[in-house]
Chain A
Amino acid sequence: MSEAPLRILIVDDEAPARSRMRDLLADCAQALPLAVAGEAAGGRAALELLSSRPADVVLLDIRMPEMDGIEAAQHLQKLEHPPAVIFTTAYDAYAIQAFEVHAVDYLLKPIRAARLREALARARTAKPPGPGVLRELQPRARAFLSAQERGKVHLVPIGDVVYLKAELKYVTAHTAQRDYLIEESLTALEQEYAGRFVRVHRNCLVARAAVRGFERAAGEEGQWVVLLEGCNEKIAMSRRQQYIVREFSR
């Protein structure tokens, strides 16, 4: 009893699967000191829970509505003390192949108690998978951006973002409510959300759906600005991107 019990968070959208996991953890408890820190039905709830009740290991289901497990794992890395992640899945040929390649730990449902015990024992010392690896595992664009503020992780639904602007070290994500600082490169975001955002300037991507119109800027000759829904600011367009005006006017 030298070590503190391993705090474990169970994340799965199906109630029976969570209850099964609780049973299995109870079976493992004799061999390995552990405590269930909580249960969450989705990635969002898991992040909220972790900000108040930290855990050492997250057992994370892959296929979940709203935010899948692989995206949730990426946001978890932004926590002050990121937990180890063990993915669980009933069947997911694509992900399993990728896990094998990158030596990411995963458990196949139905899960055996012995296999769970091994994975938990390893988790204490294992390094969390890097963001690059998780990015590669993610076949689709993420549903949320995450911003780190005073040790907490804020989730910003990508649909709320009106524009993304690169500023010195960060990217600012502007929504109707407020701005968030995102620690990612504008180029990477442009690639991930190719259909959703369009580049209007070297340092700015705007949401296609938010574009209300274009206007000639007052001062300079031939300079265009973009008018956006839910945003009083006028975004300057670079000369090179002005062909977009024509694309939208069709």
Chain B
Amino acid sequence: MASIVNQNAYSSALPNFRNLGILLRILLIVNLAAFAAAVVKSPALRGIWNELLEISAVVEPLLILSLIVLMALNGVLSRLPYYLGITGVIALELALSALLYVAGRPLLAAELAPLERYWLLVFIVTVMLLVYFDLRGRALSPALSEARLQALQARIRPHFLFNSINAVLSLIRQDPKRAEVALEDMSDLFRVLMADNRELTPLAREVELCRQYLDLEQLRLGERLKVEWHIDKMPRDALVPPLVLQPLLENAVYHGIEPRSEPGVISIDIYSVREQVHAVLRNPYRHDGSHHAGNKMALGNIRERLQLHFDAEASLATKVSDDAYQVHIVIPYVKAESAA
């Protein structure tokens, strides 16, 4: 009940311990804490290094072991209610430190303090980290809902909307059947554009949407637009942020095809390598320095959403060569069934 009162309906959740960005943050924060402890303990500057080595001998094994166990238990932990989840993590950390205390005692040269002291330290650091991740989650939550709004604003290029409506109008008298299909494609496209796009969507769905979009553009541009799909090796069940590819295709049409009177090819390659999904989009391009603000806005928007969903594990890179423009997206391969 308490969560209903919460301003923006953010429900606290444990971080995803399988995300590289989260793991790096934990490593960084714990090591910073160890360094701070070393500075506090050592009266002279020269002694800091020795202190740090001593502290690390105790901290690092526990840190590494904790990360491995948390990664392994991530699925179980994420399904628990939040308060049980944090209790679980704290209990887990205390248990692991006790285990290492007993197992590691004979191996260490230096005398160890009583277990209760380590427990207290572990408890403090764990709670600190959990509070940090909760605050971070809260900070990102409005950003995530804002990303939806931005997606909406950046996506519907009025130019595309009105030209498409005009193209459909031209069909109504001569080819009513095609006009019907075009309107259906358009309504599907706008349904997604106006939906709540915070949840991930299967890649196959995004590709379908891209096809519908390109069909509409084909209607207007005819022979000038040629599309090459290379998606035989596409992992259909991979989860991606909605509208991660369509805006890029819209850019490709707007900057690559429309300014040319001769036909141009847009190619789309999607494949998976190990645990990553790659999408490579290419379009013809010529340097003339005009309309780049719109392109940058769409790229920035997608980059931001990729970061919100996947942190450091996703990337977006662009490459300009003499006559082609390429966008390369890498997303961790998350399957639709095991969605966290």
Chain A residues at the B interface, C-beta cutoff of 8 Å: 13-17, 19-20, 23, 41-42, 63, 65-66, 90-92, 108-111, 140
Contact = CB atoms under 8 A, between A and B. Distances in A.
Contacts of A19: 170, 174
B114 interface: no
- A interface: dominant SS: loop
Given A16-B167, A110-B162, A66 B258 contact: no
Given A15-B222, A63-B258, A65-B258, 14 more contacts: A14-B167, A14-B222, A16-B167, A17-B163, A17-B166, A17-B167, A17-B220, A19-B170, A20-B167, A65-B260, A90-B162, A91-B163, A108-B162, A109-B163
Nearest to B288: A140
Interface string B144-162: 0000000000000111011
A68 to B, nearest CB: 9
A82 B171 CA distance: 33
Nearest to A66: B261
Given A15-B222, A17-B220, A42-B261, A23 B170 contact: yes
A35 B219 CA distance: 27
B221 interface: yes
Contact of A17 (B170, B173, B259): B170
Nearest to B260: A65
A148 to B, nearest CB: 25
The SS class assigned to the B binding surface is: helix
B170 A20 contact: yes
Given A65-B258, A91-B159, A14 B221 contact: yes
Contacts of B220: 14, 16-17
Contacts of B227: none
24 contacts: A13-B261, A14-B163, A14-B167, A14-B222, A16-B166, A16-B171, A16-B219, A17-B166, A19-B170, A20-B167, A23-B173, A63-B258, A65-B261, A66-B261, A90-B158, A90-B162, A90-B163, A91-B157, A91-B161, A91-B162, A91-B163, A110-B165, A110-B166, A140-B290
Nearest to B221: A14
Contacts of A17: 163, 166-167, 170, 220
Q: Which of A14, A109, A111 has the most CB of B within 10 A?
A: A14
Interface in B184-225: 219-222
Contacts of A66: 261
Nearest to A90: B162
B108 to A, nearest CB: 66
B169 A110 contact: yes
Enumerate the 3 nearest inter-chain pairs by beta-carbon distance, A residue then B residue, closest first: A20-B170, A90-B162, A16-B170
Most chain A C-beta atoms within 10 Å of own C-beta, residue among B162, B167, B174, B259: B167
Contacts of B174: 19
Contacts of B158: 90-91
Contacts of A140: 290
A16 B162 CA distance: 13
A112 B165 CA distance: 13
Q: For A108, A110, A140, which residue has the most chain B Cβ atoms within 10 angstroms?
A: A110
Nearest to B259: A65
Contacts of B167: 14, 16-17, 20
Contacts of B165: 109-110
B316 to A, nearest CB: 27
Contacts of B219: 16
Nearest to B159: A91
B289 to A, nearest CB: 9
Specify which of A20, A66, A140 lies most central, judged by the most chain B CB atoms within 10 Å of its CB.
A20
B165 to A, nearest CB: 5
Nearest to A45: B261
Nearest to A88: B166
Nearest to A92: B159
Interface in B205-261: 219-222, 258-261
A28 to B, nearest CB: 15
Interface in B247-277: 258-261
Contacts of A91: 157-159, 161-163
A119 B233 CA distance: 54
Contacts of B171: 16
A11 to B, nearest CB: 13
Contacts of A20: 166-167, 169-170
Contacts of A13: 261
